[in-house]
């Protein structure tokens, strides 16, 4: 460990740490734009300047690329430092538009924050601003506003160092420099491209999905787990705060997923997620099934439960196909209530979609189900020869979750189906029971490495929908409907 001083206080740094890293580890804040803890150090923005005290007056230098030395005395907020940061911000904002009122980064923009803290003055320039492209289509997912770009190059370094697509670069020089995609279109196919939106410190890189949809101060993040594959990345699901609920407009906007961002978790995904996680709204906002049914006829929930319980009681050879999207709590409830009564097999609820990355060396896993490991700890996997899971005298099959074709079921078996979405199979079951989705309940998934991740509810369940845990308790022998 190296002993040195920050603002007169003795602190310690690890060997080879920079002043920025050591200050952050010891709870001292130094502003930065281009520096990122998981990317290389370019030293572009100069906003992280600090003062090093020394005989003869000391000097100013950037904290992100300055190694700590024994006995060094660093000032992070001296008068000289604040003046240099003010000058740096005057330079950075020289051509930057003042369009914060319509910028999606407003509320999360570090340029706004630092300008307020260190500058706060009108531009000293009397020259016209240099104009650049305002809505450059960087890809089908991302729009680039070059006038807002401060050339931190985080996005360029991300594609070179993290996603390894080398899909972005800097074109031209000086105040005419532009971020541009390489000509082979690699950025369009970068499965992690949307991470550059998160790491952009200003409003230059904009998500087409989120553009002009909501202000961040109207939203709140709920901790969750991405169900897109067995990695189980930690995420935040952003949705509207109850105190900012819309009343005059479409009420469905109060219960929608506005965006998904990574929740940093060193044990699973670090600070990144793939684009599939960003698209969860497409999956969770499909048409929901809210009506329990008996042979395609709508019935009251208690009647459907009574009928299903009677089918279970009468069955001689029942088989259950267990969902690999079920939480650990739901799986435990099923095992306790019905696990002994059924021959159980874990089925995949989801397969890779056409054009989707199957697997890579960063995050994406070939298994597109979030809790195969949790389910597999309790029940065996459905065999590749599906027919072998059903003895000739199978007379009842409980299918839990989507992704299984009823054409593979024994032709004479009765069917109890638990699912969340409007699908043709719902009406083919002898009893259909609509169940909640993970954004409507709390629970845990176990990823392929055995790491357990928690998710919390964002929204209320629709009327007519039940939690699977409660249904299993009601379906157990002696259960109450």
| Same domain assignment for residues 155 and 192 | yes
Same domain (yes/no): 361, 231:
no
**Over 90: is that where the pLDDT of 121 sits?**
no
* 235 in the same domain as 364: no
pLDDT of residue 479: 66
Cβ neighbours for 341, distance < 8 A, ≥ 6 positions apart: 312, 318, 477
**Domains identified in the chain, total number:** 4
Closest CA to 413 of 479, 269, 314, 333: 314
* Higher pLDDT among residues 434 and 99, named by residue: 434
Among 42, 67, 92, residue at a domain's last position? 92
| CA–CA dist 174, 94 (Å, integer) | 13
- pLDDT > 90: percent of the chain: 90
Q: Is the dihedral of CA 363, 368, 369, 373 positive or negative?
A: negative
pLDDT at position 233 is 98
Shared domain check, 49 and 14: yes
Report d(CA 319, CA 341) in Å as an integer.
9
Give residue-wise pLDDT tens across range 14-65: 999 999 999 999 999 999 999 999 999 999 999 999 999 998 888 999 999 9
Per-residue pLDDT band at 480 (split at 50, 70, 90): low
Per-residue pLDDT at 238: 97
Among 284, 301, 317, the domain-final residue is: 284
For residue 129, the domain's CATH number is 3.30.70.20
pLDDT score recorded for residue 248: 73
According to the 3-state scheme, what is the secondary structure of 431-471?
EEEEECCHHHCCEEEECCCCCEEEECCCCCCCCCCECHHHH
- Is 274 part of a structural domain of the chain? yes
Domain shared by 303 and 278, yes or no: no
Least confident of 172-181, 265-274, 354-363, 471-480: 471-480
323 and 387: one domain? yes
Task: Determine the pLDDT at residue 163.
Answer: 97
Could you tell me if residue 103 is inside a domain?
no
Relative orientation angle of helices 468-475 and 328-338, to the nearest 10 degrees: 0
Verify that 349 and 277 share a domain, yes or no: no
The answer to whether residue 481 scores a pLDDT higher than 60 is no
Asked if residue 115 is part of any domain, the answer here is no
Residues 139 and 41 in one domain: no
DSSP, collapsed to helix, strand or coil, labels residue 321 as strand
Question: Are 443 and 325 within one domain?
Answer: yes
Quote the tokens at residue 126. 């009397």
At residue 306, the pLDDT reads 96
pLDDT score, position 120? 83
Which residues have C-beta within 8 Å of that of residue 174, sequence separation ≥ 6?
A: none
Q: Are 51 and 58 in contact (CB under 8 A)?
A: yes
The domain spanning residue 276 has which CATH number? 2.20.25.90
Percentage of the chain exceeding pLDDT 70: 99
Check whether residue 392 and residue 441 sit in a common domain: yes
Buried b (16+ CB within 10 A) or exposed e, 403-436: bbeeeebbeebbbbbbbbbeeebbeebbbbbbbb
Residue 457 lies in a domain: yes
CA-wise closest residue to 367 among 348, 340, 386: 348
Pair of tokens at residue 60 = 């100013």
Regarding whether 411 and 309 lie in a shared domain, the answer is: yes
303 and 450 within one domain: yes
Q: What is the CATH number of the domain that holds 377?
A: 3.40.50.740
Confidence of residue 176 (pLDDT cuts 50, 70, 90): confident
Structural domain of 257: 218-284
**pLDDT, tens digit (0-9, with 9 covering 90-100), for 66-102:** 999 999 999 999 999 999 999 999 999 999 998 999 9
């Amino acid at each position: 460990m190296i002993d040195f001083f920050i603002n007169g206080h003795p602190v310690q740094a690890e060997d080879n740490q920079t002043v920025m890293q050591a200050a952050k580890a010891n709870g001292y804040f130094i502003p930065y734009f281009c520096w990122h803890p998981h990317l290389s150090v370019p030293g572009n923005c100069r906003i992280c300047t600090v003062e090093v005290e020394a005989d003869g007056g000391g000097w100013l230098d950037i904290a992100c690329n300055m190694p700590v030395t024994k006995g060094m005395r660093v000032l992070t907020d001296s008068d000289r430092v604040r003046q240099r940061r003010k000058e740096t911000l005057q330079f950075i904002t020289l051509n930057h538009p003042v369009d914060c009122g319509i910028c999606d980064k407003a509320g999360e923009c570090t340029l706004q924050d630092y300008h307020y803290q260190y500058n706060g003055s009108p531009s000293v320039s009397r020259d016209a601003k240099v104009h650049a492209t305002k809505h450059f289509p960087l890809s089908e997912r991302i729009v680039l506003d070059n006038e807002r770009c401060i050339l931190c190059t985080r996005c360029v370094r991300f594609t070179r160092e993290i996603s390894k697509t080398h899909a972005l670069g800097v074109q031209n020089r000086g105040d005419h420099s532009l971020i541009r995609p390489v000509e082979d279109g690699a950025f369009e196919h970068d499965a992690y491209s949307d991470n550059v939106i998160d790491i952009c410190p200003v409003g230059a890189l904009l998500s087409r999905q989120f553009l002009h949809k909501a202000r961040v101060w109207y939203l709140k993040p709920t901790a969750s787990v991405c169900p897109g594959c067995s990695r189980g990345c930690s995420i935040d699901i952003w949705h509207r705060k109850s105190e900012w609920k819309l009343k005059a407009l479409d009420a469905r906007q109060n219960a929608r997923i506005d965006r998904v961002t990574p929740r940093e978790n060193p044990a699973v995904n670090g600070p990144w997620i793939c684009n599939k996680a960003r698209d969860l709204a497409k999956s969770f906002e499909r048409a929901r099934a809210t009506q329990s049914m008996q042979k395609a006829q709508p019935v009251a929930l208690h009647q459907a439960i009574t009928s299903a319980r009677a089918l279970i009681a009468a069955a001689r050879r029942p088989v259950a196909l267990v969902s690999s999207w079920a939480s650990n709590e739901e799986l435990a409830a099923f095992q306790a209530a019905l696990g002994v009564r059924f021959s159980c097999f874990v089925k995949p609820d989801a397969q890779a979609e056409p054009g989707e990355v199957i697997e890579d060396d960063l995050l994406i896993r070939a298994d597109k189900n979030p809790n195969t490991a949790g389910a597999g700890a309790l029940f065996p996997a459905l065999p590749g020869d599906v027919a072998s899971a059903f003895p000739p005298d199978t007379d009842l099959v409980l299918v839990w979750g989507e992704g299984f074709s009823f054409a593979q079921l024994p032709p004479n078996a009765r069917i109890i189906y638990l699912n969340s979405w409007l699908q043709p199979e719902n009406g083919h079951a002898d009893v259909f029971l609509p169940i909640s989705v993970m954004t409507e309940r709390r629970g845990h998934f176990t990823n392929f490495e055995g790491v357990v991740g928690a998710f919390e509810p964002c929204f209320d369940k629709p009327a007519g929908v039940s939690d699977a845990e409660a249904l299993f308790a009601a379906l157990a022998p002696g259960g109450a409907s």
